[in-house]
Amino acid sequence: MSNLIEPKILKGFRDFLPEQEIPRKVLMEKLEEVFRLYGFVPIDTPVLEYSEILLRKSNGETEKQVYRFQDNGGRDIALRFDLTVPFARFVAEHKEELAMPFKRYHMAKVWRGEKPQAGRYREFIQCDFDTVGTDSAAADFEILSVMKDSLNALGVSGVTIHLSHRGIFNRFLEKLGIREKSEDILRTVDKLGKTGEEEVLRLLSEITGKPNALEIMEYIKGKDSFEETLTLMEEKSGGESPDSVRLKEIYSMLKNSGIEDSFILDPSITRGLDYYTGIVYETFLNDLPGIGSVCSGGRYDNLTGLYMKERLPGVGSSIGLDRLIAGLEELKLIKKTGSFTKAAIFCQDTNLMCEYQKIAAELRKNGISTEVFPEEKKMGQQYTWAEKKGIPFGILLSGNSLSLKNLKTRDTKEGCSLEEVIKALKEQD
């Protein structure tokens, strides 16, 4: 049998067994429910696109990571490496068909040929939601509110969303006369969480000189309260501006909705990317800040610049699904289960299979997920199967009555009617 192929997957890729895929799906379904309550709608785009579309704006680092090849027709194509570029292409291509403001969510796989390492995969799901076609405080607030509600829906109560504004930061750099170095500065400030103050100060000094670096450090450290920090930001950036007014409007909506305690105005948040122009934010689990931001994003003023003349502003956010799931697992907020089945009907006599199937059909009609063990195997084997799948209840048919067995406690109720079994199972959460 040297002819057998070893069944193996590519490095950096993953199979999801039911005990991983069910929690992931359940989590995504909860997120979708929140998105839909806010009126976000799903779209889908092809996994493969012209390389020209995907890579035009990317830097060399991205390009090296992309799965790119020629198709049989000689076209230069690639697998998408994020959902933002395809969304920009989508909006430009279909702008006449979309009702603006347009709010979409997209949860789908993307691919990057990164060096595989702990928590980094070459195939992973991104979860993006954006509102485009409006530059309004209401849309900014709404994205923040969706973020908070999404994490609540997953059972996470303690989250802190760190918020800042790229426009104010740019005004501040302008005032210092170092606006042209903003990209390097942003990239450096973005490292604060990882490398610490001292190192950031050292790096900033190299870029801007020590006095400017000290100014920047003071700016990004902020103050104790939202209001005080906002005042500091205004002072350092030349006074009140449309950008700082925007932050005030957002803050008043947060207060009005009673969720302001979950938000911190944190001027050190910059989101390295050049792309953002308005508010920017990152989200941390209070009990696990160390894993980094689980949901980040910001406002941009020109999503579709590569494809059309008209500027299209928007605001969006992206949930880091793998990181979030890892965090929720550590916090024991994910119910580990490899099955949806609530009741297993055991098979003690194949001649009764029609009866077993009838009982199963009745349970399913009542919304109870039910499986029939399909063969007359030893009961020990059937119990092992149910246990391995984590099925909570077992049903045995004896004569005209049923026994309902709690497979964890082994408690058994004998002599039940079908109605009694259905009632008992429905009463279990």
Question: Does 242 participate in binding its own copies (rule CB under 8 A)?
Answer: no
Segment 138 to 197, residues that bind its own copies, using CB under 8 A? 138-139, 141-142, 145, 149
Do the strands 123-132 and 314-320 form a parallel or antiparallel pair, or are they unpaired? antiparallel
- The residue ranges of DSSP E strands in 279-372, in sequence order, are 279-285, 295-300, 314-320, 343-345, 370-372
Tell whether residue 82 is among the known ligand binding residues. Answer: yes
Q: Among 171-179, 205-213, 372-380, 406-414, which window interacts with its own copies (CB under 8 A)?
A: 372-380
Question: Does 349 participate in binding its own copies (rule CB under 8 A)?
Answer: no
3-state secondary structure of 146: helix
Of 331, 332, 318, 285, the closest CA to residue 125 belongs to 318
Smallest gap from residue 198 Cβ to its own copies (A): 37
Q: Residues 6 or more apart from 327 whose CB is under 8 A from it?
A: 285, 288, 291, 294
CA atoms within 13 A on the CB side of 35: 24
Segment 8 to 27, residues that bind its own copies, using CB under 8 A? 8-10, 13-18, 21-22, 24-25
Tell whether residue 261 is among the known ligand binding residues. Answer: no
Smallest gap from residue 288 Cβ to its own copies (A): 25
CA atoms within 13 A on the CB side of 107: 17
Smallest gap from residue 326 Cβ to its own copies (A): 17
Question: Does 399 participate in binding its own copies (rule CB under 8 A)?
Answer: no
Question: Does 429 participate in binding its own copies (rule CB under 8 A)?
Answer: no
Question: Does 74 participate in binding its own copies (rule CB under 8 A)?
Answer: no
Residue of 127, 370, 392, 393 that binds its own copies (CB under 8 A): 370
Residue of 187, 307, 326, 331 that binds its own copies (CB under 8 A): 307
Provide the 10 A C-beta neighbour count for residue 78: 20
Provide the 10 A C-beta neighbour count for residue 68: 16
Of 233, 244, 184, 171, the closest CA to residue 213 belongs to 184
Question: Does 369 participate in binding its own copies (rule CB under 8 A)?
Answer: yes
Q: Among 94-102, 163-171, 226-234, 290-298, which window interacts with its own copies (CB under 8 A)?
A: 94-102
Residue of 58, 152, 302, 341 that binds its own copies (CB under 8 A): 341
Rg of the Cα atoms in the chain: 27
The span from the CA of 325 to the CA of 323, in Å, is 5
* The total number of residues written for the chain in this structure: 429
Peptide bond into 101 cis (omega under 30): yes
Residue of 80, 83, 84, 101 that binds its own copies (CB under 8 A): 101
The span from the CA of 403 to the CA of 371, in Å, is 16
Question: Does 42 participate in binding its own copies (rule CB under 8 A)?
Answer: yes
Residue of 155, 193, 272, 338 that binds its own copies (CB under 8 A): 338
Question: Does 53 participate in binding its own copies (rule CB under 8 A)?
Answer: yes
Q: How many residues at the interface with its own copies, by CB under 8 A?
A: 104
Q: Residues comprising the binding site for L-histidine? A: 82-84, 112, 126, 130, 271, 275-276
Q: Residues comprising the binding site? A: 82-84, 112, 126, 130, 271, 275-276
